Structure 1
Amino acid sequence: MSPNAASSPPDKQSLHYIIRSGLAGGIAGCVAKTVVAPLDRVKILFQASNPDYQKYAGTWSGALRAGKDIYRDGGIRGLFQGHSATLLRIFPYAAIKFMAYDQVHHWLMPTREQETNGRRFLAGAISGTMSVFVTYPLDVIRVRMAFQTRAPGSTQIRPSFLSAAHQIYAEKAINAASSVPETSPTQGSFDRLPVLKFYRGFTVTIIGMIPYAGVSFLSWGFLRSRLLPLPSESGRPPPTPVADLAIGALSGALAQTASYPFEVIRRRMQVGGITRPDRWLRWGETVSAIWHAGGWRGFYVGLGIGYLKIVPMTAVSFTVWQGGKRLLDV
């Protein structure tokens, strides 16, 4: 390869770049999610108000005690319950998100001078929305797997990926047999199109994804532009993984704070088929139930463990993504 070819910028719209960018993003997502999988299990149980673990919610020590109970009942497999579904979802989710971000970023901000905070936010929001739309059913199945617990002495089998998917699909039979009348015109649509049951809480997820992905990529781009000048402009060496970790961690904390109430609402709606199998839980009803149960604090239940999870996860995700892109020469 000639020196000119080696120094020329990559063609970000080439198939070579798109595939490798997506591969780096998918691997980054899987590594990051595996690092925080036990924390994710505990957080889901808190957010969805699992009755076996509500007594632990609200404190750091409660999260540790919940983790100990899960380990006592199911060992390491209990802490990683639902993780197989997580990996099935997170690889395409992260691949699409980071690949789309690269493409949208290039489209909105082809040069360094055109980068603005508004465009960074918009690029992140668009890429996050695209990835959620494609992979959301896998997230619903993963939440169902993580939500199910087994009482002491019970012979109930923890759900597999396929059994959790079948349970969601079969909820139409429960609704049809229920004596409770339909309370929403949407309910009939779900019975006619069972696939829509895999999109419980989808609208609130999309609304929550806009501030999460937008703030995350906005913070990432803004902090890198201020703290890590381009090597070609500053004569400095390329950014180190430690710098990527630090900036990714701060970006994750800011994004989590902005979007967490939407995440709590989404989790409640996703497990609605278990807690209220007779009908579809609507957004307003879910918000009202959370407010009456815990006031404004109810929308931030599990936020501490959310930080404990999202900060290292985002840091690892961005760092592995950048490292993967360097390794794959993109």
Structure 2
Amino acid sequence: MAAPVVEASRAVLPEALKPGPPRQKSQAMESVEDILYGSIAGIIGKYIEYPFDTVKVRLQSQPDHLPLRYTGPLDCFRQSLKQDGFSGLYRGISAPLVGAALETSSLFFFERLGRETVYKSGLCAKDQALPLPALWFTGAFSGAFTSFVLTPIELVKCKIQVPATASSDGMVHKAPSVPSVIRDVYKHEGVIGFWHGQMGTFLREAGGCAAWFGFKETTTKLFYVWNERGIHTQAEKDALRTEALPLWQQAVAGASAGMSYNFLFFPADTIKSRMQTTAVGGTAKKNTFFQEGAALWHQHGLRGMYRGCGITVLRSAPSSAFIFMIYDGLKRHLPL
């Protein structure tokens, strides 16, 4: 009986006091929010996941012609801590922090452009929520464009994360810095050298981001349906869907997105990491994406393709959960 009373009280409000339609943001302000809030969320997420990412790259980049240096993620953690200390797990984080800001802001920016593309195509009315298949598409759209931003940053990151090894003269050389890697790549391979491994990044991001956004939206929708149990009126259901999910449900949705992103297209990331950790310069011919993948498959099979996957999926759960929670929270509570 409470709902009719509320509706009746609204009916007698003076026109000037009635709530108006929500303020519509301009495309420019939407873009600023995507870039600013996506950058903040990405940087925080990168601090959470970076030590695990370092271990993942070291596991992925072990040479084929030598015995495996690490028996698994825990052994890699142990050896890395013994050799470089805890700070060694954060070696080269400056470039990834920039990359995380660019990646996350680009993902949300291009995902919104993907939504605008779907609306302009006429497949869905502007005032309607996009169906789940369209949201999987906008994720792939976002990842495809973001891959071109990410490849140079990940190339620098991967070259720094590989541990220092002894050369033929027995000397252990100092780990490279960000400026030295950039200088060497440009000197030996030119500007195009920074996009070595682009195919791997493209496949990982286009497919992975379809799953990242798709699983997040799918899980979110399932939680809303679950929360609507016992609610019978459409008005109450519509009101519920304007509210944010409880934090634990937001975390589960974000975590499921991160785990699916990393697991489904992990082989593409493994091949990309191997390509990007090869030595700069020299006379050796660089393998293409498919050549590198064939060599890895011949040497180690499917297990080699997923080397380091467990720790990657593990670290992606809290990282992705925080990214979505921070981004959505800032968008909801601090609109520009």
* Shorter-chain TM-score tier: 0.7 to 0.9
User: Is 1:30–2:47 an aligned residue pair?
Assistant: no
1:160 and 2:177 matched: yes
Q: Which of residues 220, 231, 238 is equivalent to 1:233?
A: 238
Q: Which residue identity is paired with 2:44?
A: V
CA distance in 2, matches of 1:250, 1:296: 23
Q: How many residues align?
A: 303
2:232 is equivalent to residue 215 of structure 1:
no
Q: Report the equivalent of 2:312.
A: 306
Whether the aligned pair in 1 keeps the contact of 2:259 and 2:314 (CA below 8 Å) is no
Contact persistence 1:97–1:127 (CA under 8 A): yes
Secondary structure at the aligned position of 1:273 is classed as coil
- How big is the alpha-carbon RMSD for the aligned residues of Structure 1 and Structure 2? 2.8
Q: Structure 1 residue aligned with 2:187, among 162, 170, 193?
A: 170
* 2:151 counterpart of 1:144: no
- Give the drift of 1:277: 5.4
Distance 1:9 1:103, change over 3 A: farther
**Is the aligned partner of 1:56 residue 2:70?**
yes
Residue 268 of structure 2: which of 254, 262, 274 is its match? 262
User: Quick one: distance in 1 between partners of 2:281 and 2:163?
Assistant: 11
Corresponding residue for 1:120? 135
| Post-superposition offset of 1:170 | 2.9
Is 1:129 the counterpart of 2:135? The answer is no
1:275-286 equivalent positions in 2, closer than 5 A: 278-286=284-292
Q: Does 1:100 align with 2:117?
A: no
Report deviation, 1:234.
4.2
For 1:161-214, what per-residue CA distance to the aligned partner results, in whole angstroms no more than 9, with x for missing partners? 101111222334xxxxxxxxxxxxxxxxxxxxx111111110222122211001
User: TM-score with structure 2 length normalisation?
Assistant: 0.81
Return the index of the structure with the highest Cα Rg.
2
- Unmatched 5+ stretches in structure 1: 173-193
Match of 2:122 in 1: none
Output the CA distance in 2 between the equivalents of 1:158 and 1:261: 27
Within 1, Cα distance between the matches of 2:97 and 2:67? 25
- 1:10–1:17 CA contact under 8 A, matched in 2: no
Which residue in 2 is equivalent to 1:79? Answer: 89
Displacement, 1:324? 1.9
Deviates more, 1:93-102 or 1:273-282: 273-282
What's 2:197 paired with? 201
Using the TM superposition, give the Cα deviation of residue 10 of structure 1 relative to its aligned residue in structure 2, in angstroms: 3.5
Tell me the SS of whatever aligns to 2:133. helix
Partner of 1:156: helix, strand, or coil?
coil
TM-score if structure 1 supplies the norm length?
A: 0.82
Structure 1 118/10 Cα, relative in aligned 2: closer, same or farther at 3 Å?
same
What's the offset of the Cα at 1:48?
Answer: 1.4
- Counterpart residue identity of residue 141, structure 1: V
Q: 1:39 aligns with which of 42, 52, 57?
A: 52
Partners of 1:103 and 1:275 in 2: how far apart? 39
The alignment partner of 1:294 has SS state of helix
Structure 2 CA distance, aligned partners of 1:242 and 1:209? Answer: 26
Rounded Cα–Cα distance in structure 2 between residues aligned with 1:15 and 1:253: 32
**Equivalent residue letter for 2:69:** K
**Displacement over 4 Å in runs of 4+:** 50-53, 109-114, 150-155, 229-232, 274-277
Measure the CA separation in 2 of the matches of 1:310 and 1:323: 19
In 1, the alpha carbon distance for the partners of 2:281 and 2:308 equals: 19
- The answer (yes or no) to whether the contact 1:140–1:200 under 8 Å persists in 2 is yes
**Which sits farther off after the overlay, 290-299 or 37-46?**
290-299
Quote the residue 2:13 is aligned against: none
Q: Give the unaligned 5+ runs of structure 2.
A: 1-16, 120-124, 229-235
Task: For residue 3 of structure 1, report the CA deviation from its aligned partner.
Answer: 6.9
The aligned amino acid for 1:327 is: H
Residue aligning to 1:179: none
